[in-house]
């Protein structure tokens, strides 16, 4: 079964740091791009960051310079280091798999984890 399991969320003060992890199973992790998407409670989805198969990372304007995305293919794991957190970063963070079909990968996401909640508050 294809599965993504996020961990590492919690309560942190403004200016603090958290490291989110995403454990992948049931598929060839190293052959997929991976993404983080967040959702404020009761609101829409917001793309946060993505990392290619080769480890090249990309960020939304809202988190660039504060978040760092990395992957460890040998451990089938994805990591999001979040520094200098702000109240506006409060959300459920989803790990999501880049979509590949018929040997071709497309810039969408298909499999999502259940999310981990990050709360930034004093």
- Residue 24: phi and psi, rounded to 5, are -105, 145
Q: How far is the CB of 1 from other proteins (least distance, A)?
A: 14
Q: In 23-113, where does DSSP find H-type helix?
A: none
- What are the start-end ranges of the E strands in the chain? 3-7, 10-12, 18-25, 34-39, 45-51, 57-59, 67-72, 77-82, 91-101, 104-112, 116-120
User: CB-wise, 16 or 100, nearer to other proteins?
Assistant: 100
Binding site for other proteins (CB under 8 A): 33, 35, 37, 43-47, 50, 52, 56, 58, 60-61, 94, 99, 101, 106-110, 112-115
Q: How far is the CB of 60 from other proteins (least distance, A)?
A: 7
User: CB-wise, 21 or 60, nearer to other proteins?
Assistant: 60
User: CB-wise, 1 or 122, nearer to other proteins?
Assistant: 1
């Amino acid at each position: 079964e294809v599965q993504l399991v996020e961990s590492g969320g919690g309560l942190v003060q403004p200016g603090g740091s958290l490291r989110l992890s995403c454990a992948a199973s049931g598929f060839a992790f190293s052959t997929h791009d991976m993404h983080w998407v967040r959702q404020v409670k009761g609101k829409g989805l917001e793309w946060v960051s993505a990392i290619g198969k080769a480890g090249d990372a990309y960020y939304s304007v809202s988190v660039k310079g504060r978040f760092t995305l990395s992957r460890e293919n040998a451990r089938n794991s994805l990591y999001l280091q979040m520094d200098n957190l702000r109240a506006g970063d409060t959300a459920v963070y989803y790990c999501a798999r880049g979509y590949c079909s018929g040997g071709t990968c497309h810039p969408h996401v298909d499999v999502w984890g259940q999310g981990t909640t990050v709360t930034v508050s004093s």
